[in-house]
Structure 1
Amino acid sequence: MLNKYPLWKNLLIIFILVIGGVYAAPNLYPDDYAVQVSGASSSTPLSQQTLDRALKGLDRAGIATKGAELLDKGLLIRVGSSDDQLRAKAAISRALGDDYVTALNLAATTPDWLTSIGAGPMKLGLDLRGGVHFLMEVDMAAAVKQRLDVYVSEIKTKLRSERIRYRGVDHKADGSLLVKFANQEARDEGYSLLRRDYNEFLLTEEEIDGEFAVGVNLTEATVRQIEDYAIKQNLTTIRNRVNELGVAEPLVQRQGRNRIVVQLPGVQDTAQAKRILGKTANLEFRLEATPDAGRASTESYPFREEGRPDARLEKDIIITGSSVANAQANFDENGQPQVSITLDANGGKLMNRVTRNAVQRRMAVLFIEHKTRTRYVQENGVEVEKRIPYVEKEIISLATIQTALGSSFRITGLDGAGESSELALLLRAGALAAPIYFVEERTVGPSLGQQNIDLGVTSVKIGLALVVLFMLAFYKVFGIVANIALALNLALLTAAMSMLSATLTLPGIAGIVLTVGMAVDANVLIFSRIKEELKNGLPPQSAINAGYDRAFSTIFDANITTLLVAVILFAVGTGPVKGFAVTLSLGIISSMFTAIMVTRALVNVTYGGRKINKLSIGWGV
C-alpha cells in the first residue's frame, strides 16, 4: 500500500523524537547565580557547620539566598543576581577565612529526574553566555630568586669539580649573590671560572671584613629573559591545567608584562578551577643531612604528618617538579594513595647520579606551596582586603634509598586519594615557573555585547517566522507538515549538542540558521516534485510517493557534499570555525531525518492508506 510506513519505522521515529525532546528539555531551565566553596586543599573538610558559618556571614551582610547545598565537591549557595553574587563571595570569604576557596559559579536548575538520566543544558561560549574571569599576577621577583637558587647549586658544583676552595654562596638583600673564597688566590680562580662559564653574570671582586669574595649580579637582559620565560611557562602550565579540567573553549592569554587573563565559560566547579589554576605547588627532592653536616649547609623542615619532629635536609636540591615528565595517582599494595613519577632524561640522570652514592641514606620529598593570607586593614577610614603572600614547605615523604633510583619511582605519605590525584594533575600539567596570585575575579558578560546578541536572536526569530509563513502560504497543509518538522529539527539539534557537551557560540548559531534553510530547502524540493507529478497526471498517492523517491537523490547529494565541507572545517579549523562546523554537521544529519522521514511519516498519517482526489499543496494544482 502506498504511503504507509510499517509499524516498526513509525515507532523508531517516535522513539528518536521522544529522546530528543527529553534531552533538549534542560535548556528550558535558566541557571542561578551562585557562590561555590571548596577547601583550600583537597583534604580540607567541608561540613554542615561550614555551611552554617557561610550562611551566618551572608545574614550579617544582609544578602538573601535562594538555596544552599552541601555537595561532594563543596558548598553551593544560590543568590538572586550578579550583584548579590559578588557581595556574597566577599561575605563568605570573610566568614570562612583562608582555609577555603570561594568562587563564582552558575548553578544549574535542571530537575533531578532529567539529571538522573544524564540530561543537561548545552554549554554556551563566552560570546553568548559570558563566564568566569580570573586576572592573575606572576611574582617576577620570586622567578628571579628561583633562578638564582639554581645558580647557587650550579656554582657550588663547578667550584667543587675544579677544586677551588670556597666558603659559601649567599643571597644578598639586593637580589645578587656573594661567593666567598678561602683566600685571594682561590677568589681569582673562581672569578676566572665564573667569567668563562657565565656570560649572563656581572662580576665584581669584593673584600668584606677581610674575606675575599665575588659579587654576582644578573644582567638586565638575563633578568628580562627570566621574566619572559616565567610568564610563558606559566601560560603553558595554566593552559595544561585548564585542559586537565576539561573546560570547553577557554581563553588563556598574557596581559601586560606580568599578568595572565583566564576566562572559563560554563565550568561546573569554579572553586576547584580556582584552586588548581592558582596552586603554585612544586616538589623538591633533597637528601637528609648527615649528623656531621654544618648548619650553614642544611635547613630544617616540618612534616605534613602531625606528631613527627622536624627533619634537617641538605640545602642542595637534587631535582624539582619541573623534571617530571608524567605523574599518575594510584594505590600501593597496602591500599594507601601514592603518585607514580616518571622523570625526563635529564632529571633521571641527576637522580641516578646522586642516589647511587647515597644508598642507605634517606631522601625527602619536600612539598612547596605559595599561598596568601587575607587581612582587613583600614585605609582612609575604609576597610580594605589585603592578600599577603607566604610560602609553606612541608616534608611529605622521607624514605631510605635502597638502591640507585632512575627515571621512575613513587611518592607516598599523601593525605588521601584526593590529594594524590591533585598532585599528579599539577605535576602532569607542569610546574609553574613562578608563584602566581589572583588579583581579580568576576563574572563577565557576553564578549559580543548583550545588545548584539539580542539583535542576532531577534533576526533569527524574524527569519524563522518568515520561513513559516512562506511555507504555509505556498504549500498549505504540506507547509504545516514542513513547519512541524522544522521545529522538531531544532529540538533534535539542541538535544544532540547537549548530549555531546558541545559549546554553542555565535558562529554555531550561524550554522543552525544555515541548517534551518537547508531543511526547508529539502522540503521545497520534495513538494515541488509532488506538484510536478500531479501536473503530469499521476494520482495524488502516486505523486506523493514519486515526489519523495525522486527528490531523495538530489537532497542526499547536496547534503553529503555540505557535510564533507563541514568535516574538513572541523578537522583544520580552530575556535569559532570548529563551533560552526559542529552545529552544521549535526544540523545536516538532523535535517535529513526530519525533512525526509518525519515529514513523510506526517504526510502518511494525513493522506496515506485512503482514496483522495486532491492534495492541499499550494497554488497551481
Structure 2
Amino acid sequence: MLQIDLWKRICIWLTVFVGLSLAVPNLFYTRVETHNDALQAIELGADEAVVADQLGQWPGVLPSSLVNLGLDLRGGAHLLAEVKVEDVYAARMKSLWPEMRNALRDERATVGAVRRQEGPADELRVRIAQPEAMETALAAVQTIAQPITTLSGVESNDIEFRAEGPVIIATLSEAEREASDERTVRQALEIIRRRIDEVGTREPTIQRQGADRILIQVPGIGSAQELKDIIGTTAQLTFQAVVSRTNDLNDRAGVGNEILPSTDEPGVFYILDENPVVTGEDLTDAQPSFDQNGQPAVSFRFGPSGARAFGQFTSENVGAPFAIVLDGEVVSAPRINEAILGGSGIITGNFGVEESTNLAVLLRAGALPAELTFLEERTIGPELGQDSIDAGRIACIIAFAGVLIFMVLSYGLFGVFANIALIINVGLIFGLLSLIGGTLTLPGIAGIVLTIGMAVDANVLIFERIREELKTAKGPARAIELGYEKALSAILDANITTFITAVILFVMGSGPVRGFSITLGLGILTSVFTAIFVTRLLVVMWFERRRPKTIEV
C-alpha cells in the first residue's frame, strides 16, 4: 500500500525546514557577516553600544552561520613558506654550553680548565687543559645526553660526543635531527595558526607540504605582504646580560658572547652574553600599552619560572644594564635600579600604535622556532574572486535550468516533483556547509553542479522503474511503490561508490581538491535523501489528494 507514516512525514519536513533555515543567511551574506563581526568584537571586549548598528543588521534569533568563501572566491593572500630547520641545531648547541660547563666543573681537578672554541654553528667545541683525561671528560658530558623516545630513534641519544685531540665535539644525533625537524615544523605550523587566529581572519588554510614547507592561504586579507607582516616575523624575545657596548661592529665579541645592533641608538652595538636569562617562551601575556611619556609600548608578564629567573638575575645585578632583544636587535638596554620581583615589565622603543599592537600579538602567539623563507607568494584581488563567483553562478543557473526543463519535458508532473526536490537539495547543501563551517571554493561550485546532475539521475531511475511497472497492468499505487523499491539498490550502489571517491579525495587531497570533495560528498547525502524521501512524499501526498485511476510518467 502506498503510504507513509505520520511521524516519518514530520521528520522529513522537519529536516527540510532546518536545512533550508540554515541556508537562508547565505542569501543575505553581507548583512549577516557584518552582524557576526559585531558579535566577535563584543566577545573581544568592544562596547555593545558602539557596534549596535552592525549588530542590528541581522536578527539574533535567526541562524547566522555562513558558508565561508575560499581564497579563489573571496580574494586574499597565498604563501608557501620553508622552515629553516637548521636554525634549531645552532640554538640547541648554544643552550648546551652551560650544561657541558657544569658537567665538567665537577671533574676540573682531573680535566683542568675548560674553554669553549669557535666552530660550525651546528657543533659545540669545548677544549680541556688535560687531554690525557679525555675519557673522564667524555664520561662526564655523556650524562647530559637524553634517550630519544620516537619510534625512529629507539635506543639512540639526542646528543653525540666525540674527541678530536684535546677538544670535545658535541653534535645532535641523526635520529634527534629527524625528530627536531618534525617538532620544529609542527611548532611553526601551530604558531602560524595562532598568529592568524589572533587577527581574526576567516577560515585560513594552513597545512604542511612535504618535509619542511607550510602552505598558508588566508581569504579576505589585503595582500601577501600584509600576511607576511603577521606571520613572517620570528618575534624571538630574550633578556640578556650586557657585557659591554661599542661603536665598532668589528670588535671581537669573544666566545660565548654575541654583538647586536641597537634600534634606538644608530651606530651603537651591544656585546651580550648569548645565553639569555629568560626568553619569550616564559611569557604568559603581552598587551599594547603606553609608557610614562605617553609613547606606545608593550607590557608583558612572565610565568612562575620566568618570573623567578628574572627576579633572581635582577637581584644579583642591581646597577648593571641588561638588554631586551627582539629578533636580533637590542630594543632597550635599561639599568637595573632595583630587583624586579613581580614578573612583569614593559618594552619601549620606536613603536607606533599599530606596531606595538602587532608586536603584542606576535609575543602572545609565541616565537617561531626557526626562520621562514617564503618561496611563493600571491595576492588574489576581491575583483577576481567576484568574477569567479559570477562565473560559478552562471554555470549553476545554466545547469539548473537545463535539468529543470529536461525533467518537466520527460516526466511531466513527476518531473515537477523532482524539480522541487532538486531545489530543496541545493538548499540543503548550503545548509550543511553553513552548519559545519565549510569553505566553498571554485572547484566546490563544480561539485554542486555535478551534484545537480547526479540528483536527477536518482529520480530518473525511479521514474523509469515506475514506467516499467505500469506496463505490467498493475495499479498506479502499486506501480509507484514497486518503482521506489526496485530502484533503491541501484541508487545506493551508485551513490556509495561516488561517496567513497569523495572521501578519498578529501583524505588524500588538499586545497581546491578538498573543496570539491566536500560539496560532492554533502551533495550525495542530500541527493539520496531528496530522491528517496522528499520526492516520494510529494508523490504520495499528490496521490492521496487526487486518487487517479491511471497515471502517466
TM-score bracket, shorter-length normalisation: 0.5 to 0.7
| Offset, 1:460 | 3.0
Q: Report what 2:549 is aligned to.
A: 613
Gaps of 5+ in 2: 48-52, 119-163, 172-181, 198-202, 244-253, 259-270, 286-299, 347-356
Is 1:126–1:446's contact at 8 Å kept on the other side of the alignment? no
Is 1:367–1:395's contact at 8 Å kept on the other side of the alignment? no
State the alpha-carbon separation in 2 of the partners of residues 483 and 581 from structure 1: 24
For 1:248, which of 175, 191, 204 is the aligned residue? 204
| Offset, 1:547 | 1.2
| Within-5 A mapping of 1:214-293 | 239-244=189-194, 245=196, 247-250=203-206, 263-266=217-220, 277=231, 280-284=234-238
Cα deviation, 1:204-263, whole Å, max 9, x if unaligned, reads: xxxxxxxxxxxxxxxxxxxxxxxxxxxx99987654333334643248999xxxxx9954
Is 2:21–2:63's contact at 8 Å kept on the other side of the alignment? no
Cα deviation, 1:362-402, whole Å, max 9, x if unaligned, reads: 9999865459xxxxxxxxxxxxxxxxx973578999778xx
| Offset, 1:158 | 12
| Offset, 1:472 | 0.7
**Is residue 413 of structure 1 aligned with residue 349 of structure 2?**
no
How large is the RMSD of aligned CA atoms in angstroms?
6.2
**Is residue 128 of structure 1 aligned with residue 73 of structure 2?**
yes
The aligned amino acid for 1:615 is I
1:596–1:444 Cα change, 3 Å: same
For 2:422, which of 486, 492, 495 is the aligned residue? 486
Any idea what SS the aligned residue of 2:72 has? coil
Any idea what SS the aligned residue of 1:264 has? strand
Any idea what SS the aligned residue of 1:127 has? helix
| Offset, 1:122 | 0.9
Is 1:288–1:362's contact at 8 Å kept on the other side of the alignment? no
| Offset, 1:478 | 0.8
Q: Report what 1:12 is aligned to.
A: 11
For 1:431, which of 343, 368, 377 is the aligned residue? 368
State the alpha-carbon separation in 2 of the partners of residues 473 and 509 from structure 1: 26
Identity of matched residues, %: 35
| Offset, 1:127 | 1.8
Is 1:133–1:443's contact at 8 Å kept on the other side of the alignment? yes
User: What TM-score, normalized by structure 1, do the two folds share?
Assistant: 0.51
Cα deviation, 1:412-443, whole Å, max 9, x if unaligned, reads: 5389xx99x9688633xx53546x999xx996
Q: Report what 1:591 is aligned to.
A: 527
| Offset, 1:277 | 2.6
1:459–1:479 Cα change, 3 Å: same
| Within-5 A mapping of 1:324-473 | 339=303, 368-369=325-326, 391=331, 412-413=343-344, 426-427=365-366, 430-431=367-368, 433=370, 444-445=380-381, 454-473=390-409
State the alpha-carbon separation in 2 of the partners of residues 545 and 110 from structure 1: 51
Is 1:282–1:320's contact at 8 Å kept on the other side of the alignment? no
State the alpha-carbon separation in 2 of the partners of residues 239 and 127 from structure 1: 22
1:138–1:518 Cα change, 3 Å: closer
State the alpha-carbon separation in 2 of the partners of residues 394 and 432 from structure 1: 27
1:150–1:519 Cα change, 3 Å: same
Q: Report what 2:23 is aligned to.
A: 24
1:197–1:391 Cα change, 3 Å: farther
Any idea what SS the aligned residue of 2:459 has? helix
| Offset, 1:508 | 1.8
1:394–1:616 Cα change, 3 Å: farther
Any idea what SS the aligned residue of 1:281 has? coil
The aligned amino acid for 2:541 is V
Is 1:251–1:263's contact at 8 Å kept on the other side of the alignment? no
State the alpha-carbon separation in 2 of the partners of residues 392 and 576 from structure 1: 46
Gaps of 5+ in 1: 36-66, 77-107, 171-192, 201-231, 255-259, 290-295, 300-312, 330-335, 343-350, 372-388, 401-410
User: What TM-score, normalized by structure 2, do the two folds share?
Assistant: 0.57
Any idea what SS the aligned residue of 1:3 has? coil
State the alpha-carbon separation in 2 of the partners of residues 474 and 365 from structure 1: 84
1:249–1:280 Cα change, 3 Å: closer
The aligned amino acid for 1:568 is I
| Within-5 A mapping of 1:104-143 | 113=58, 119-132=64-77
State the alpha-carbon separation in 1 of the partners of residues 100 and 169 from structure 2: 10
Is 1:128–1:505's contact at 8 Å kept on the other side of the alignment? yes
State the alpha-carbon separation in 2 of the partners of residues 469 and 395 from structure 1: 82
Is 1:114–1:120's contact at 8 Å kept on the other side of the alignment? no
Cα deviation, 1:13-67, whole Å, max 9, x if unaligned, reads: 22222222221122222448x99xxxxxxxxxxxxxxxxxxxxxxxxxxxxxxx9
Any idea what SS the aligned residue of 2:73 has? coil
| Within-5 A mapping of 1:150-169 | none
Is 2:188–2:368's contact at 8 Å kept on the other side of the alignment? no
| Within-5 A mapping of 1:79-98 | none
For 2:273, which of 307, 315, 328 is the aligned residue? 315
Q: How many residues align?
A: 423
For 2:479, which of 521, 524, 543 is the aligned residue? 543
Any idea what SS the aligned residue of 1:128 has? helix
Cα deviation, 1:314-343, whole Å, max 9, x if unaligned, reads: 835257659x6x9988xxxxxx9864789x
The aligned amino acid for 2:543 is Y
State which drifts further: 565-574 or 488-497: 565-574
1:548–1:199 Cα change, 3 Å: closer
1:608–1:412 Cα change, 3 Å: farther
1:447–1:558 Cα change, 3 Å: farther
Is 1:253–1:261's contact at 8 Å kept on the other side of the alignment? yes
Any idea what SS the aligned residue of 1:613 has? coil
Normalized per residue, the structure richer in helix is 2
| Offset, 1:580 | 2.0
Cα deviation, 1:430-486, whole Å, max 9, x if unaligned, reads: 53546x999xx9963269876566444423322221111100100111111111111
Any idea what SS the aligned residue of 2:74 has? coil
The aligned amino acid for 2:76 is G
| Within-5 A mapping of 1:528-539 | 528-539=464-475
1:455–1:390 Cα change, 3 Å: farther
State the alpha-carbon separation in 1 of the partners of residues 414 and 283 from structure 2: 61
